[in-house]
Amino acid sequence: MRRLEHDPIYLDHNATTPVDPRVLETMLPYLQAGFGNPSSEHAYAAAPQLAVGHARSQVARLVGAAPAEIVFLGSGSEADATAIRGVVTGALRAGVRRPHIMTQQTEHPAVLAAFEYAEQFHGAELTILPVDRDGLLKPQGLRSAIRPTTVLVSVMHANNETGVIQSIRELAAVAHEHGALFHTDAAQTAGKIPLDVKDLGVDLLSLVGHKMYAPKGIAALYVRAGTRLEPLIGGGGQERGLRAGTENVPYIVALGAAAAIAADDLAAGASDRLAELRDDLERELMMHLPGRVHRNGHRDRRLPQTLNISIDGAAGHAILAACTQVAASTGSACHSGLHSPSPVLLAMGLPPERGLSALRLTLGRWTTGADVGQAAAALVRAVHAVTAVPQEVP
Ligand SMILES: Cc1ncc(COP(=O)(O)O)c(C=O)c1O
């Protein structure tokens, strides 16, 4: 997929990915002749029904699940909410009076909001565990806070800002030792690194189309066979009663195609190529801004295509504003012109200045070595521009 000459270099793949042209080609027929409702009882249902089934198998294969364990829904936020609130309401129905649920501080707002709603609307008790300076949650921290009434632990697979990959296998084992279910938000890992639900030992896993070269507005939830979950949305009984709504066939087909392409790419070593490029980018920045660049998050336990750094003496938003050749993000929030540091970096115990000077640079399928070289040079120029000491006019 080619970038037009004057377009900025896109280094924001953790925010969203472009749609792979092969994915687009596969989904288009279902916006045209294959438009039928899969639940209809006439000839127009056949092709969409088959296509949804095929997509379900493709997504299942990417994560090592059975097709019947995959539920399609409308977004990553919906997948997280369905998993978290669905377990809580399921526990209430089973007679647990005040279900206790646990997560950690650097989760995506989709998970944190689902926790707050579970408390507000369903009377759940919450524990939100701290992470260490590398962004990791220690299994021992989970073990010491888990209770007999804990029904669910939800810990993201990799963080969207830092790329830090949590020890899901160990954390899920602790949850299971205590009889709790385990959910992981794998929005940032599905398609980027190999993952297998059985190897991880999770009961529920969210994955998101627009992080893996499918369109926005489609996601999937892995629900291990036998997991007790109440639906958030009722109606026509689609998706085994777990998510009502006429299936978004073209987008489901797109997610299936994206999963199949990602599986092939991973088998061909795509993540090693990206890790090399990411390391080149980090090296270039460190070399040209000596002593000023600090990596945020664990050195090794991070996504291959994610670089989160802070640059001494320069605010992230100012660097990006001065660097129109690169599209990236900071993780900090801006309200009425005032910038506040990323809550993820603050939760890791980093000082506010370091949070404010952070840049998140995330590579993707079509990022080249030339892109990395040009982006590094442009960022270095921008850092010098925003930290230049004004010369006094004589
Ligand atoms: C880790 C993580 N979880 C959940 C989401 C939410 O996905 P969606 O935008 O599809 O609701 C995102 C997207 O930014 C994410 O990065």
Shared domain check, 290 and 214: no
Number of structural domains the chain divides into:
2
Compute the distance between CA of residue 142 and CA of residue 130 in angstroms, rounded to an integer: 10
Task: Quote the percentage of the chain above a pLDDT of 70.
Answer: 97
Give residues (CB < 6 A) around ligand 1: 75-77, 80, 108, 110, 156, 160, 185, 187-188, 208, 219
Average pLDDT over residues 80-86: 98
Mean model confidence pLDDT for the chain: 96
Rounded distance from Cα 247 to ligand 1 centre (Å): 20
**Atom number of ligand 1 nearest to Cα 15:** 14
* 208 and 220 together in one domain: yes
Domain with residue 51: its CATH number is 3.40.640.10
pLDDT of 1 strictly over 80: no
Mutate to test the pocket of ligand 1, among 16, 82, 105, 108 (most ligand atoms within 8 A of CB): 108
Question: Which residue from 184, 129, 181, 176 is spatially nearest to 155, judged by alpha carbons?
Answer: 184
Given 244, 266, 288, which residue is the final one in a domain?
Answer: 266
The answer to whether residues 202 and 277 belong to one domain is no
In sequence order, which residues have a C-beta less than 8 Å from that of residue 321 and are 6 or more positions away? none
Among 237, 266, 295, residue at a domain's last position: 266
In a domain, 1, yes or no: no
Burial level of 346, CB count in 10 A (0-12/13-18/19+)?
A: middle
Q: Which two tokens stand for residue 172?
A: 């899920």
Q: Give the tens place of pLDDT for each residue, 101-138.
A: 999 999 999 999 999 999 999 999 999 999 999 999 99
pLDDT tens digit string along 301-345?
999 999 999 999 999 999 999 999 999 999 777 777 778 999 999
Say how many CA atoms lie within 13 Å of 115 toward its Cβ. Answer: 23
Last residue of a domain, one of 266, 294, 312: 266
Asked if residue 203 is part of any domain, the answer here is yes
How far apart are the C-alpha atoms of 104 and 137, rounded to whole Å? 7
Tokens, residue 29:
């027929």
CATH of the domain at 311: 3.90.1150.10
Q: Does residue 219 share a domain with residue 114? A: yes
Most informative mutation of 211, 305, 342 for ligand 1 (most atoms within 8 A of CB): 211
| 156 & 223 share domain | yes
- Residue in this structure with the two tokens 């442009």, named with its chain if needed: 378
Do 222 and 276 belong to one domain? no
- Do residues 237 and 275 share a domain? no
Measuring from atom 8 of ligand 1, which residue has the nearest CA?
76
Between the CA of 381 and the centroid of ligand 1 the distance, in Å, is 32
Using CA atoms, how far residue 341 sits from 15, 28, 346, 360, in Å, is: 18, 41, 7, 13
- Same domain (yes/no): 244, 377: no
The 3 state secondary structure assigned to the chain is CCCCCCCCEECECCCCCCCCHHHHHHHHHHHCCCCCCCCCCCHHHHHHHHHHHHHHHHHHHHHCCCHHHEEEECCHHHHHHHHHHHHHHHHHHCCCCCCEEEEECCCCHHHHHHHHHHHHHHCCEEEEECCCCCCCCCHHHHHHHCCCCEEEEECCCECCCCCEECCHHHHHHHHHHCCCEEEEECCCCECCECCCHHHHCCCEEEEEHHHCCCCCCCEEEEECCCCCCCCCCCCCCCHHHCCCCCCCHHHHHHHHHHHHHHHHHHHCCHHHHHHHHHHHHHHHHHHHCCCCEEECCCCCCECCCEEEEEECCCCHHHHHHHCCCEECECCCEEECCEEECCHHHHHCCCCHHHHHCEEEEECCCCCCHHHHHHHHHHHHHHHHHHHCCCCCCC
For 320, the domain range is: 269-387
pLDDT exceeds cutoff 60 at 390: no
9 belongs to a structural domain? no
In a domain, residue 6? The reply is: no
* pLDDT-based confidence at residue 6 (cuts at 50, 70, 90): confident
Residue holding tokens 């980090």? Answer: 282
Say what the pLDDT of residue 335 is.
73
Calculate how far, in angstroms, residue 211's C-alpha sits from the geometric centre of ligand 1: 8
Asked whether the beta carbons of 158 and 205 are under 8 A apart, the reply is: no
- 26-78 pLDDT tens trace: 999 999 999 999 999 999 999 999 999 999 999 999 999 999 999 999 999 99
Annotated active-site positions, please?
A: 334
The pLDDT-based confidence of 2 (bands split at 50, 70, 90) is: low
pLDDT at residue 391 in the model: 57
What atom of ligand 1 comes closest to residue 210's alpha carbon? 10
pLDDT exceeds 70 at position 16: yes
Are 382 and 278 contained in the same domain?
yes
- Torsion 158-159-165-167 (CA) sign: negative
Task: Answer yes or no: is 309 within a domain.
Answer: yes
Distance of CA 72 to CAs 1, 24, 88, Å? 27, 18, 20
Rounded to the nearest angstrom, the distance between the alpha carbon of 217 and the centre of ligand 1 is 10
Are the CB atoms for 152 and 171 separated by under 8 Å? no
